[in-house]
Structures are given as C-alpha cells and as structure tokens.
Chain A
Amino acid sequence: MTSDELIRTSRLGKKYGDVTALEALDLTVCAGEIVCLLGANGAGKTTTLQLLLGFTQPSSGQAWIAGVDVAREPQRARARAGYLPEVVELYPLLDGIETLAYFEQLAGRRGDADGVAASLERVGLPSSAFRRRVATYSKGMRQKLGLAVALAKGADALLLDEPMSGLDPSAANDLVQLLRALAGKGAAILMVTHDIFRAQQAADRIGIMRHGQLVEEVAATAMTPQEVERLYVHHLRDAA
C-alpha cells in the first residue's frame, strides 16, 4: 500500500445472516482522486462506507483509511476521515454556527464563530441561515451544513453518501467544484450517488456496484455522461 492510497479495501465483504451485502471488494482511492460508486438500492454502496468507517465489522477482507486498519483501530481510522451520511438531520434546536462549532470542537479546533461562519460560506450556506435553527432548514441547506460538518476537521479521506441529494442544480454544481478543489489539495474522496451526471462531472473514476459486487470500474474522464448512463442501465438490466 502506497502512502497516497488514502482509502483502500482488499477482498472486503459483509454478510447479514445469509444475505451478502458486500463481496470481495477491492477498491483504492488515492490522494487527489474522486471515485464515485453508482448502483441500485441494496447494491452495497452504503455498506462499503459503513465498513470503511468501522461502524460494522467486516465478514471478510480488510479496509484501511490513510493506512490505518479500520477493523483494528476504528477510532484512529475515523480520525482521518470526513463523512456525510445519506440522511442529514443534525440537531434541529441548534443553529448552523452552533452545530458546526460543536463538530469543530470535537475535532480539537476552537470552533469560534468567525471561523465557523467562513466554513459555512465555503459550502454555500446562505449567511441568513447561520443563526437560524436547523429545524427551519430546507433539505438542501441541511445537506450543505452536513457537508460543512464532514469537512470540519480537514480530513484526508472523505466518504460522502449521496452528497448531491436535495441540492438544486446550481448548488450541486458548486459542490462539484468544491470537491474538485479539495481533491486538488490532496484529499481522497469516495462518493456514493445515484446522480450519474454529477458523478461523471466530479469523479476521476466511476465504479458500478450490483448485488454487493463491484462489477465495473471506468475512468470517468474517458466517457460522456450518456455513455456512463448506458453502462449503468446495462448493469441494472443484468441485475433485474
């Protein structure tokens, strides 16, 4: 494993009883790279993220974040990762500043209001929302705040579950630009999404998952969105 392989799995698998959620996944995301996993519901995308974060124990294989074995040292591995879950609720009674300040404090930062406000601006949250309670946020605003939380500690490895969900086209485009900028600074980003167009736009490589297996891995830059879509639909049909 090279030092720039910030996210890596080897023969990683997970079974829930007789059900195989993930099977022998070999995946590497290097520093400066964005990899998107596409797949239908139940294809194993979210399970992959959960295994990479040590939220569940693998049935087989191994996973590493920044070279740290996740199963052996989950907390150390998580310390090197940023995470955005698929559903972002956060704390409805806190405002945006308070929410992000808390996560910055967890990461050992000061979490002062000015620094927090700058982080919120970076993800495109309107300044009028900074002091509003999260309960009043739209889904897209919560998504942006969740992204700010994921970025709060400046982690090397970012694991994003449906980050475009709820974002309007302009905000989604901004997010793509932001992710590209982060990758440009050396972050490794593994993103799970249904949004083929944004995946093709943001990713360096696209992996297609089906029934817990990575069935296809392609270089996104070599394909048009239409070609990615055809490939995805082809695998979906196979799955059906």
Chain B
Amino acid sequence: MIATARLAWRQLWRDRRLPVALTLLLALALVAIALDQVRATEAERDRIAADTLDRETFRTQGARNPHSVAHFSRFAFRPRLETMTLDQGVSDHAGTAVWMEAHRQNPPNARAAEDHLDLGRSSELGLAWIWQVVAPLLLVGLGFDAIARERERRTLPLVLVGGLSLPSFVAGKALSLLAVFAVALLGSVAMSSLVGGGYPVDDRVARTAIWIGGYLGYLVVWTAITLAASVRARTSRGALVTLLGIWALTVLAAPRIVATLADDQVPIPSSTELSAAIERDLKEGFDGHGPADQRTKDFEARILAEYKVDAVAKLPVSFAGLKLEEGERVGNLVFDKHHAWLAERYAKQRSWRRGSSLFGPLAALQHLSTAAAGTDVEQQLEFARQAEHQRRDIVARLNTDMIAHGTGKDFDYLADPILWTRIPAFQYSAPSLDRAGMRIDLALLAVWVVIASLLLGWTVRRAAKELVP
C-alpha cells in the first residue's frame, strides 16, 4: 500500500499535477488568510476604538436623567473571534454592533460587507471556501485516472499479478490522495494560526480540531467517490466527466437550489418588517395584553391600589420610573416572542439546508465549519441575546435609580455621574462548543463517510470479479 502511494506521488509530481495542485491550494490559502488578516486587523482596530470612545463618552457624560441616559445608552460590540479565519460564515453579513437603548431591542448593525464593498466581494475567498469548493475539484483532478489509467495502459493486471489485491491497490491510491490533501489542509490551518489574532476563544484547540476533522471527513468522502468513479469508468476521460458532473451538482448546484428553496419556504423577515411587527404588537396589544392606552390606565390603577393612594402625585416613588420599568417589562415580552419566532425560522431554514445533505456532504460540512469557527447564525443570535441581556440590565439599573431617587421630579431628576461608572461594560462571551449544535452535522458527515466508503468497497469488490471487459 505504501509502495503504491509512493509510486502515485512520484507520478503525480512528475506530470506536474501534484506541485500545481499544492501550489494552488497553499497560495489560495495564503491569499485568503492575508485578506482576512487585513480585514481582521481593521475590524478589531475599529471595534476597539469605537468601544473605547463609547465607554469614555458614557462614563464622562455628567449628571443626567437616567432615562435620557437609557436612550443615549451604549453599544455592544461583537469582537472578531480568533477562530474566524477558519470560516467567516455569516460574520461579514451579520451586524457587529448593537445599539442598546430603552424601549427597543435593536438588531445588530455595522456589517462588514456594507463597510467594505471591495473586500466584501472577495469575502468568499476564505479558507472554508477553498476547502469546500476548490479542494474537491483538485482532488478529482489528481485522482480521476488513479485506477482507470492503470487499466488503460494495462498496468493494473501487472500490479494484481505482482502481488497486490485490487482493494489494497485502491487503498494505496486513496492514501496517496488523502495524504497530499491532509498535509495541505494542516498546512493552511497552521498558516492561519501563525498569523491569526482576534478575540481569544477558550476552546480554540477543540474547535480547530473539530474543524480539521470535519474537512478530513469531507476529503475522505471525495477521495472515495473519486476512486469509485475511477474504478467503475471504462476510461479515465469517462471518470473525469462523471466526477466533474458530481462536483458541479453537489458543490455548486444543490446547495444553492436548496438555499433558494429554504428562503422560499421559510422566509426571514427584514429588520424593518420585524420592527413593524413588534411596534404593532406594542401598540395594539398581544397575547392577552390590551392596547397601549389601556395598559397604561390599568397599570396606573394597579400602582395606586398597591400603594393605597388616590393620585400619582401622592406616590412615594417616581411613577414615571415605574411606568418606564413596566414599559420595559411588556416590551421585553414582545421582543422575546418575536425573536423566539425569528430564531425558530432560522432553525427551520437550517433544517431545510441540511436537506441538501441528501445530495452530498457539503451542507453538513458548512454548518459544522461555521459552528466550529463561531461564525454561524446560531452564534450570531447568541451575540444578539447577550447584547439584549446587557441592554435589559442597563435599563433596569437606570429605571431602578429613577424610581428610588426621582420621586416628584421624574424626568427632571439628575442622577449622580458615579452611577454611570457602576454600569458594567458589555463583555462578549463566545458560546461553548457544546452549545454550538454540531452533533447533527457531525453525524451527517459521518454518514457520508460511511456511504462513500461502502460505495467504494462495493465498486472495488464488483470490479475485482471481472477485471477484463
């Protein structure tokens, strides 16, 4: 097996396919990493500058009414994780900053793809794209004739009489292909680690290992398919045409068709549509809560009864503060309802996209890859959830202060500036691996590895019975 692998490397090197493929893979990886590094450096510089300015402005704003401060509020920035070089995922198309203010759960904005249209266009040229799209094509280019050409030039019978079984010979060829691509894969990951930077992730090693494991599985699938076609085809040209067809269908066509179907079947509302739906609920009522005017009247009556007074002016606390807090409570219920619905839509879309796993392992790999890199939709939603948690905490602290100290002054009350320094800054925490939801995609990928291996085994066993047409 080793002798066969060595022979294959020697031949692939001499017919220049191996150096060309390796150079192309590593050069593309280098360009992708360099581009990413430029973007990462710029994004982190901007984030740190904006975050510093935001903290300083918030801290030094002087004596103000807490509710004014709740509207002035702050930004929550999503840092660029150190694992993002592996797969940019949705990061360039998802917002990186949330404006945290009273009464509103704002969606993340400041999308990299909007800020850098020129780089945004090339954002597909990432490590993930190279290994998902380019690598299988190169693997086909290196392996389509691995067995078919041996049959064409009559060396296959010599090898079989020489002492190798067909399965061992095919295993040697598989080893030669896999080893080349595995080395290039590890090389590209090593390059990205050397130049990488960004926000530290606790489980970086485990994430990178899962990422590499996923791509190795993907390469095993493509190696098995390539060799099965090469064993099955009568000519190497026939094998090449078949494999290019499989590549075009499974890598180019199927994911896009399924993504379009997913968008059609499970449409995601725009942020404007979502805001309008939230406003409508707040104004007109929702889930047993009446319209806004009615809620205000009911709340006032409830507070007066609770404090056993007959007028707002007689309350021992700031009614404006209480009303603001109630507004937040009700608003949060509406936000939770709509964002839970939105998260459910995203999950349904993901399930739809997983449907393209019927055609190949790419969908599972893409989910696994972005999840491991921390750039999938779920982890973007997690950032929004953390930002929302922070927003609620800030608003609650400000309302509590106003309720306690704003009695009789309401919006004329000015809080001590020391209050601003007591409000903690947003600290993003990357979700742990077990929350990244990779199990289904790992399982799907494993199923594909098994299917492709069985297909190759069956093809080889069948061919071994009748080696001569």
On A, residues with C-beta under 8 Å from B are 50, 53, 55-57, 74-75, 78-79, 81-83, 85, 87-91, 93-94, 98, 102-103, 105-108, 146, 149-150, 152-153
Contact = CB atoms under 8 A, between A and B. Distances in A.
B11 A91 contact: yes
Contacts of A88: 154
B163 A106 contact: yes
B3 A55 contact: no
A89 B465 contact: no
Given A93-B14, A108-B163, A56 B158 contact: no
Contacts of B159: 103, 106
B117 interface: no
A87 B154 contact: yes
Given A50-B468, A103-B159, A153-B162, 18 more contacts: A57-B465, A75-B160, A75-B165, A79-B163, A85-B157, A89-B153, A90-B158, A91-B7, A91-B153, A93-B11, A93-B15, A94-B14, A103-B158, A103-B162, A107-B163, A108-B163, A149-B162, A150-B158
B157 to A, nearest CB: 6
Contacts of B205: none
Nearest to A111: B3
A83 B163 contact: no
Contact of B161 (A53, A91, A108): A53
Interface in B2-23: 3-4, 7, 10-11, 14-15
Contacts of B157: 53, 55, 83, 85
State the 10 A-B residue pairs at the shortest beta-carbon distance, nearest first: A89-B153, A106-B162, A83-B161, A93-B14, A55-B467, A105-B3, A106-B163, A55-B468, A56-B468, A103-B162
A85 B154 CA distance: 7
A78 B160 contact: yes
B19 to A, nearest CB: 13
Contacts of B15: 93
B427 interface: no
Interface in B132-183: 153-155, 157-165
A81 B464 CA distance: 17
Given A88-B154, A102-B3, A56 B163 contact: no
Given A78-B160, A94-B11, A107-B162, A56 B467 contact: yes
Contact of B155 (A57, A91, A107, A108): A91
Interface string B241-258: 000000000000000000
